[in-house]
């Protein structure tokens, strides 16, 4: 009996995942069509950029500082035992720009931005405001989804860059001022070890994360049903699905970037 229940639960989860992937893919195609057919209202786009970008700055800066400082202390303890504490800055910067900065910033914004988008669109759905837009001849995808999609895709690389910069300078201040790591060797090794490839590819991944957050959250909001309870479920589903999707996308893109790096820069 337990085995049959596990198989049934696994089957339901697989079908639900496939359905979500299909819905998100269809929504992406609708967004691309709306971008082509409908000019964007500048005021609506600016409002979304303010909400998604500017209002996320405190969370982004604190996330970057926390990651950088914790990572710096942990790496210093390990590298000091090997007599290589001067390379701490290089390792901190590499980890921040290539993996931790983009991924954790994406996860934080999936929680903050994704829940906000899902709740807003979900409330509009259950109060029939989206049906009212269709009645007035306004395409809900062009009016509601596209501005949020553009804002997430455009601003997530900038927010990630700010988080990484906060982590880099936070770790440098902590290790140099508090733990006494020589500043000259710290920055020299940090600049020497890291290349523009890690920075560019790390920030480029976040544009994909932004698209995932916007599409998944909008899909959750637009499919809301059941009143206030449905809005809460839409928020939860949007955040969880977006977070899991970001982790999966990060793994796949990391493998692809490694293949590209060996092809572009052969050893």
Q: Which residues have a Cβ under 8 Å from the Cβ of 221 and sit 6 or more positions away? A: 117, 118, 119, 120, 121, 122, 124, 125, 234, 238
Kindly tell me if the per-residue pLDDT of 1 is higher than 60: no
Q: Which of 230, 244, 257 is nearest to 21 (CA)?
A: 244
The encoded tokens of residue 230 equal: 């449905």
Tally of structural domains, the chain: 1
Instruction: Let me know: does 120 contact 238? Beta carbons within 8 Å.
Output: no
Given this model, what pLDDT does residue 266 score?
67
Torsion sign (Cα): 123, 125, 131, 137? positive
For the segment 207-244, what is each residue's pLDDT rounded down to a tens digit? 999 999 999 999 999 888 877 788 888 898 889 999 99
For the segment 31-48, what is each residue's pLDDT rounded down to a tens digit? 998 888 877 677 888 899
What are the angstrom distances between the C-alpha of 161 and each of 93, 100, 102, 151?
12, 12, 8, 16
E strand intervals along the chain: none
> What value does the CA radius of gyration of the chain take, rounded to a whole number of Å?
22
Q: Which domain holds residue 197?
A: 2-264
């Amino acid at each position: 009996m337990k085995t049959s229940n596990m198989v049934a639960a696994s089957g339901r989860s697989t079908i639900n995942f496939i359905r979500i992937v299909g819905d998100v893919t269809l929504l992406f195609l609708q967004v691309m069509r709306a971008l082509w057919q409908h000019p964007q209202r500048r005021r609506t786009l600016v409002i979304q950029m303010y909400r998604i970008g500017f209002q996320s700055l405190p969370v982004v800066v604190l996330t970057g500082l926390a990651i950088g400082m914790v990572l710096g202390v942990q790496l210093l303890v390990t590298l000091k035992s090997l007599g290589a504490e001067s390379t701490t800055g290089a390792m901190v910067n590499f980890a921040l720009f290539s993996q931790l900065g983009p991924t954790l910033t994406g996860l934080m914004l999936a929680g903050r931005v994704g829940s906000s988008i899902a709740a807003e669109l979900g409330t509009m759905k259950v109060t029939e405001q989206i049906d009212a837009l269709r009645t007035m001849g306004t395409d809900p995808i062009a009016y509601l989804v596209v501005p949020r999609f553009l804002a997430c895709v455009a601003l997530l690389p900038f927010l990630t860059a700010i988080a990484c910069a906060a982590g880099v300078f936070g770790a440098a201040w902590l290790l140099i001022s508090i733990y006494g790591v020589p500043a000259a060797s710290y920055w020299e090794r940090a600049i020497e070890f890291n290349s523009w490839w890690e920075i560019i590819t790390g920030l480029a991944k976040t544009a994909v994360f932004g698209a995932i957050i916007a599409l998944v959250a909008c899909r959750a909001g637009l499919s809301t049903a059941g009143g206030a309870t449905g809005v809460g479920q839409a928020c939860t589903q949007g955040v969880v699905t977006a977070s899991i999707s970001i982790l999966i996308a990060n793994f796949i893109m990391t493998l692809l970037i490694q293949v590209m790096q060996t092809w572009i820069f052969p050893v």
